[in-house]
Amino acid sequence: MRVEAYTATGIATGMVAAPGHVRAHVEGLSELIVEGSEWLPIDGSAARQAGDVKLPVDDLLLLVSDELDDVPGHAQWHAIDLDAGQIAWTVPLGVVDALVARGVPPTGTPSLGGSIATVGGLVFIAGTNDARLRAFDADSGRELWADRLEASGHATPMTYRGKSGRQFVVIAAGGGGYLSRTTADVVAAYALPAP
């Protein structure tokens, strides 16, 4: 199957002979061999190179496949219009900072965590492995706000109203586990603007 493998040092485009899903194939390996690939170093230290490239799996930032079922690293978030029975909007959920720095638009990242919606039309989610809590417009899917957490918030945000009547959004940002090596012992709280 044809893939693009993005690492901290370069991009390899070529073929991977992967039985089943790429994600399952990569999980059992220490390195990924991209056959007949074209290698483009990010730092510009060398010209494009052709041939087989061995990539340490730990260095993979994103692996893009031409088969929809095999796209680890790409995450999209969908809103469903239940009255119309169709998708209202779809947006990429999460970013790979190293790719954004190179001008690649948001691709989405693996995610593990739910979302909450407020009466005021905001939707909060922090499940992505890029360690951010985000607020989206519930009607359009437009990202309105994001803040970096100390570690990924692989949990569903919580909300409560304080004694003053002000609403808060809270997220447990512990990271770790399958999607992230960075860990923290943080519960982050954010105050929503006063009505």
The pLDDT assigned to 129 comes to 82
* pLDDT higher at 130 or 22: 130
Q: Could you tell me if 65 and 81 lie in one domain?
A: no
Q: Could you tell me if 10 and 91 lie in one domain?
A: no
Q: Could you tell me if 113 and 131 lie in one domain?
A: yes
**Span between the terminal Cα atoms of the chain, in Å:** 52
Domain span including residue 102: 76-191
Q: Could you tell me if 66 and 80 lie in one domain?
A: no
**pLDDT, tens digit, 9 for 90 and up, residues 50-87:** 666 666 665 565 566 555 444 444 577 888 888 888 88
User: Do residues 52 and 36 touch, judged by C-beta distance below 8 A?
Assistant: yes
The pLDDT assigned to 45 comes to 59
Q: Could you tell me if 55 and 96 lie in one domain?
A: no
CATH number at residue 62: 2.30.30.100
CATH number at residue 80: 2.40.128.630
**pLDDT, tens digit, 9 for 90 and up, residues 89-127:** 888 888 878 777 777 778 788 778 889 999 889 999 998
The pLDDT assigned to 194 comes to 81
Q: Could you tell me if 26 and 94 lie in one domain?
A: no
Q: Could you tell me if 131 and 66 lie in one domain?
A: no
DSSP character string of 45-88: SS--EEEEEEEEGGGEEEEEESSGGG-TT--EEEEEETTTTEEE
